[in-house]
Amino acid sequence: MAIDFYHRDKDFQGYSVKRAQKLKEQAEPYLKQAKTVKTGFKLLEFYEMQKSRILRHFKATQEDWSNWHWQMRHRITDINTLDAIFPLTDTQKNEITDVGKAYRWAVSPYYLSLMDFSDYEDPIVLQGIPKHAELLDEAGETDPMGEILNSPAPCITRRYPDRLIINVTNICGMYCRHCQRRRNIGQIDEHRKREDLTKALNYIRSNPEIRDVLVTGGDALLLSDNTLDWLLGELHSIPHVEIKRLGTRVPVTLPMRITDELIRILAKYPPIYLNTQFNHPKEVTLEAKAAADSLISAGVILGNQAVLLKNINNNPDVMKKLNQELLKIRVRPYYIFHAKNVKGTRHFIPSIYDGLKIMESLRGFTSGLAVPYYIINAPMGGGKTPVLPQYLLSLNDHRAVLRTWEGKIVYYENH
């Protein structure tokens, strides 16, 4: 039988060769375009030059640079410091000054080193430096997700049956211009009081259906080591809490926060899932990889929740490259969030068509590991709603009509 099958299969060898050639041709346009997408690994020399410039300004050392406390103390928060490091145009100065009167801004020296100020449309600049568009938004909402309506206890946001959020701080390594919680930033850095966190923990203890707790902010990893150790330990001691999650952008904006002591703490309380937010391939740097490697050594499972942002990543080639770069550093693309209707951020909101086009460009054209869910958050706490291209065209008791990733229509028997 094996010999007969081999001879019979020879008839298909020509088809297989043609099919392989077609697949090769389908891959070639992206391979060509991907060469034009800037990535952190390609920009090592530029980033080192930027870092040197920042260190000279602060009269600092490499040891200082690697210290996350130094990074936080030296966040750039005023126009004069920024202009002294990277001279700005008058337009840039006016925009930053005007917006800064209404909305707080701050950028870590590390994340500043990724910015290319010769290109004011640089995707890293756009995420960290204020623009006048923030002041022109009259249709955005301060709390489009209705978090204030879903807070049964201090620090708690609960929108689902078996899981909830503990919001622990308003502090971040950088205040993203597209932040969904900019209403909480205020003008003063402050962690939530231990008393309020204790009330949140008591709420979790009294609700045994809660099996999944997300610690976020602000940035969860900007709590002190002692507070993180205490909070994770308390959650770990609750029998019905099966997993702890951390919401943090420090692998992107402050990777030196991932210290040996932090790793020791995180390793004590498995399982911990950490979701971060890389939005562009330029953010996937050697420092980010080192942070990911350390977290993985502690048994932490890493995922990425990108935000789909106009003029930053609402491009199929950029998003595909981002997801592929993330897999190289062992961060699993998990979600692409459609940008929310937050006041002062509407200039970042792309068309839903952009998101669907990106999903079409991923499914089948790259490995499934690089295909996240595309999510729209329903207004007023309605929750995460997946949005997919239409692959199921019809379904009845006898068959399904499907559209494949290549656009072919196929019929599948339904038993």
Question: Which tens digit of pLDDT belongs to each residue from 358-383?
Answer: 999 999 999 999 999 999 998 887 88
The two structure tokens encoding residue 229: 């150790």
Residue listed under structure tokens 């290319």: 116
How much is the mean pLDDT over the chain? 94
Between strands 156-157 and 163-167, the pairing is antiparallel
pLDDT category of residue 415 using cuts at 50, 70 and 90:
confident
Listing DSSP states for 219-275 in one string gives -GGGS-HHHHHHHHHHHHTSTT--EEEEE--HHHH-GGG--HHHHHHHHTS--EEEE
Q: pLDDT tens digit string along 197-224? A: 999 999 999 999 999 999 999 999 999 9
Nearest to 279 by CA among 385, 177, 130, 363: 177
Q: What is the mean predicted confidence (pLDDT) over 377-403?
A: 92
pTM for this structure? Answer: 0.94
Q: pLDDT tens digit string along 155-177? A: 999 999 999 999 999 999 999 99
Determine contact, residues 221/250, Cβ cutoff 8 Å.
yes
Determine contact, residues 98/131, Cβ cutoff 8 Å.
no
Sketch the domain layout of the chain as residue ranges: 2-34, 40-135, 147-386
Residue 9 confidence (pLDDT): 56
At residue 395, the 3 state secondary structure works out as strand
Q: What is the mean predicted confidence (pLDDT) over 175-194?
A: 91
Determine contact, residues 272/308, Cβ cutoff 8 Å.
no
At residue 153, the 3 state secondary structure works out as coil
Question: Is pLDDT above 70 for 3?
Answer: no
Q: What is the mean predicted confidence (pLDDT) over 33-55?
A: 97
The span from the CA of 39 to the CA of 113, in Å, is 14
Beta bridge partners of 213: 164, 244
Domain 147-386 annotated CATH 3.40.47.10: no
Give the residue ranges of DSSP H helices in 10-43: 13-34
What whole-number percentage of the chain has pLDDT above 70? 97
Question: Is pLDDT above 60 for 2?
Answer: no
pLDDT category of residue 117 using cuts at 50, 70 and 90:
very high
The span from the CA of 410 to the CA of 313, in Å, is 32
Residue 7 confidence (pLDDT): 52
